[in-house]
Amino acid sequence: MQDQAFAGLKGRSVLVVGGAGYIGSHVSKQLAARGYDAVILDDLSTGHREAARFGTFIEGDCGDPAVMDRVFREHGIGVVMHFAARAMVGESMENPILYYETNVAKTLLLLAAMLRADVKHFVFSSTCATFGETDKPIREDMPQAPVNPYGRGKLMVETALRDLQSAHGMNSAVLRYFNAAGTDPEGELGEDHAPETHLIARALAAAFGHGANLTVFGKDYPTPDGSGMRDYVHVNDLGDAHIQAMEKILTGGGFQDFNLGTGHGSSVFEVLAAVKRATGREVPHAVGPRRAGDPPRLVADSARARSVLGWKPRFDLDAIVKTAAAWHGKHPNGYGDKKK
């Protein structure tokens, strides 16, 4: 499909919005490795300049129409991958305006700029949080009932994308990640959120003594060891899916959506055991009560991505943790450019 995608791009570039962040930076590197020209736009609100080195970097806000008109005019963009967002569920409950402004309003402004520039291919970072709570492996056709402003905002954008297909012929791929984890196996890029809320990164920081001890929220769930289970998917596997989805929509197809996970749930205690295997260190932890709104088990059914895109995740939990351990072990302060 890559030849058709190159033909569809007609020499134009891929705009990676939010490409200085964790997932966007990894995908930019994979795009470059496959011969695509990436232009990275990021306002560095949570991202890292050092991570945005696999493409032409522009510092700017995707919600600024003047900036976006200039980017589309001057950089010959053929397709947009949109990672930029605030992405912490708890913060979204405390500050919904910030989430609706960044994740919804600014995404609509970006889409409006795309339409002005006649760019009609869009890959969108969505989330399993659009589904709310369910215990079954989650398929795309299951009801979407998000339980927090973060998930609701992402679902609003998904809804807008369906409307933009009908009204303007927008081709979009909505990719709903489960728990993104792991880092660049070559060690050039990492994961550095402030604060860090992701389990594997936090467990490694605790094991290496760079971060606070871990609290396991609940060990009375109806799961084999009582702790919550999540579907951890390696960031490069997500990158593969992005490139496959981009290549697909460059040949048309309208609105398409894919749930991305390995289909395998790992419990918190299984993650801590994997950290021990990767580092030889115990993760210092305490057990606390369940957190409100945390379902016992969230696992993807990614059969659609496997059959339609030919996507096949390559990293299991041990491989994911091994890549992350290598990076966190060498980078106790992350990229070192932001206050923690």
Ligand X SMILES: NC(=O)c1ccc[n+]([C@@H]2O[C@H](COP(=O)([O-])OP(=O)(O)OC[C@H]3O[C@@H](n4cnc5c(N)ncnc54)[C@H](O)[C@@H]3O)[C@@H](O)[C@H]2O)c1
Whose tokens are 């496997």? That residue is 306
Judged by CB under 6 A, the chain residues 89 through 148 that form the site for ligand X are: 102, 106, 125, 127
Query: With contacts defined by CB under 6 A, how many residues of the chain interact with ligand X?
Result: 29
Tell me which stretch binds ligand X (CB under 6 A): 22-30, 222-230, 291-299, 306-314: 22-30
Angle at 168 between CA 79 and CA 115, to 5 degrees: 50
Q: What is d(CA 264, CA 271) in angstroms, rounded to the nearest whole number?
A: 13
Tell me which DSSP letter residue 50 carries.
G
Q: Check: CB of residue 272 under 8 Å from CB of residue 322.
A: no
Minimal distance in Å, beta carbon 12 to ligand X?
Answer: 20
Minimal distance in Å, beta carbon 60 to ligand X?
Answer: 7
Q: Check: CB of residue 114 under 8 Å from CB of residue 72.
A: yes
Judged by CB under 6 A, the chain residues 217 through 256 that form the site for ligand X are: none
Minimal distance in Å, beta carbon 85 to ligand X?
Answer: 3
**Which phi and psi (to 5°) does residue 278 adopt?**
-75, -30
- Identify which of residues 2 and 197 has a Cβ nearer to ligand X in the complex: 197
Exactly one of 100, 150, 177, 232 is catalytic; which is it?
Answer: 150
Six token digits for residue 87: 């992405």
Minimal distance in Å, beta carbon 207 to ligand X?
Answer: 20
**36 among known catalytic residues:** no
Told to check if 184 binds ligand X by CB under 6 A, we report: no
Six token digits for residue 213: 């001890």
Six token digits for residue 163: 């409307």
Residue type, 192: D
Q: Please, what's the largest Cα pairwise distance for the chain?
A: 56
Whose tokens are 């894919």? That residue is 258
Told to check if 20 binds ligand X by CB under 6 A, we report: yes
Q: What is d(CA 261, CA 179) in angstroms, rounded to the nearest whole number?
A: 8
Among 68, 84, 104, 324, interactor with ligand X by CB under 6 A: 84
Minimal distance in Å, beta carbon 170 to ligand X?
Answer: 18
Whose tokens are 């993650």? That residue is 271
Judged by CB under 6 A, the chain residues 27 through 46 that form the site for ligand X are: 41-46
Tell me which stretch binds ligand X (CB under 6 A): 5-13, 131-139, 176-184, 272-280: 176-184
Using CB under 6 A, list all residues that contact ligand X.
Answer: 17-18, 20-24, 41-47, 61-63, 83-85, 87, 102, 106, 125, 127, 177, 179-180, 193
**Active-site annotation, residues:** 150
